[in-house]
Amino acid sequence: MTVSTPSAPEIDPEIDPVIDHEEPSSPWGNRDFRLLWLGRVVAVLAIQIQSSALLWQVYEIARRDHPIEQASLYLGLVGLCQFLPLLAFTLPAGAMADRRDRKHTVTLSLVVEMVCAGSFLAMAMHGNPPLWGLLAVAALFGAARAFLAPASQAFLPMVVGRKALPAAIAAQSIAFQTGAIAGPALGGVIVGVTVPLAYASSLGLFLLAIACFILIKTHGKPEVGPKVSPVELVREGLSYVWKTKIVLGAISLDLIVVLFAGVALLTPIFARDILHVGPQGFGLLRAAFGVGALLMAFWLSRYPIQRNGGRWMFAAVAVFGICTIAFGLSKIVWLSALVLFIGGAADMISVNVRQTLIQLATPDHMRGRVSSVSMLFIGASNELGEAYSGVAVRLLGPIGAAVFGGAGALAATGIWAKVFPSLRKADRLS
């Protein structure tokens, strides 16, 4: 597979790229990558612990003055306040990542997130903070994440090089899954002690993440072409994604599959009313998907996929759809957990191949903008997926919603394989 340029966006899947054979194939021997990986783990932990504390605190405050039904709406406001800045700033942030030093952008974004954690801590220490204050800081935090995501994704290839990129992406997935699994559990324990302690823990973890990125020696400044306006930069990035069918197909397939087959919102319904296993069973179902993804990420970091990348991705998406259907039809908790475990592993294969293809298909001076488009699609798919699941459950019932969603993922696999043949035929992931 060769890397395209803006003037020739298609990728020939059968031609080997030009690789510096002196480049190491494993990222772990790279000191800067180890610092980046550690910074990623502690930053995700900080975000998850802070999120647990914020949701708990907002609900507690809202519950004092409102019944359960109204109080629960405030939890949705927390997500909305963080998503709207993400929606507004992600594309400009991608353009910035292609013009400014990416390492500095990541570090500054983490500094803003640390300030937000400090603000949450100060309000929690006050004892009775206003809801509008918590939501305002949550919106600032969402804006910082909008700038953090494209810069950090575009910085990774600069640290590890092209040959080690597939294994590095798998290792980054390990970092995210570790934080995503351990963070909520740890956050729940700390919040059980005291909410201010949770915010203080997040502040300390953000500080550690900042230190990791400051110690990285790799420069993060991309090659900058002729100076153009920010609007033109964004337009150029969107145009590149549209013309480069491998990138467009990979990003849009993720959007459709998460929209139809995301089962996260369905797990509490199945645990309580279908499987009748209560909160313990709910925890099992939630953990099963993440554990499957984490174990597969460990495997891919050690044995990265080298050939037939497109076929691997489409096969993984199909398995994910089948697992969603099986989850909807299962009446046995261990079987439901098993298919979620397999679905998590399949999803990790899809994520790993997709991110590798996107990075390899994108020239360095475009990586920030392409990453921002990808993040925008992911954010939209998560938000729209929750809305779709709610409507689908209302119309079809929980079992019908899961089965229909899995069937939709399978249909999307076949359609995208037909519409994007270059994505299906993409071969080498190195």
What pLDDT does 167 receive?
80
Q: What is the mean pLDDT of residues 350-358?
A: 81
CA angle 355/346/320 to nearest 5° reads 110
**Burial of 316: CB neighbours in 10 Å, binned 0-12, 13-18, 19+:** buried
Counting Cβ atoms within 10 Å, is residue 175 exposed (0-12), middle (13-18) or buried (19+)? buried
Six token digits for residue 373: 């488009």
Angle at 344 between CA 418 and CA 401, to 5 degrees: 70
Average pLDDT, the chain: 79
What secondary structure does DSSP assign to 286-340, as a single string? HHHHHHHHHHHHHHHHHS---S-HHHHHHHHHHHHHHHHHHHHH--SHHHHHHHH
Band (pLDDT 50/70/90 cuts) for residue 108 is: very high
**Could you tell me where the DSSP H helices lie in 24-67?**
31-65
Whether 81 shows a pLDDT value over 60: the answer reads: yes
Residue 332 exposed, middle or buried by CB count within 10 Å (0-12, 13-18, 19+): exposed
pLDDT tens per residue across span 142-190? 899 888 888 888 888 888 877 787 788 778 877 876 777 677 667 767 8
190-205: per-residue pLDDT in tens?
877 888 998 999 999 9
Alpha-carbon gap, residue 103 to 153, rounded angstroms:
11
Which pLDDT score, from 0 to 100, does residue 271 have? 77
Bridge partners for 5 per DSSP: 8
**Token pair 């699941």 in the structure block, residue:** 389
In the three-class reduction of DSSP (H, G, I as helix; E, B as strand; rest coil), residue 5 is classed as strand
- DSSP-derived secondary structure letter, 222: P
Burial 80-95 (b: 16+ CB within 10 A, else e): ebbbebbeebbbbbbb
pLDDT digits (tens, 9 = 90+) for 397-409: 888 888 888 898 8
Spatial separation of the C-alpha atoms in residues 124 and 343, rounded to whole Å: 39
Predicted confidence at residue 229, as pLDDT, reads 66
- Average pLDDT of span 360-388: 69
pTM for the full model?
A: 0.69
What backbone torsions phi and psi does residue 5 show, to the nearest 5 degrees? -120, 165
pLDDT tops 60 at residue 230? yes
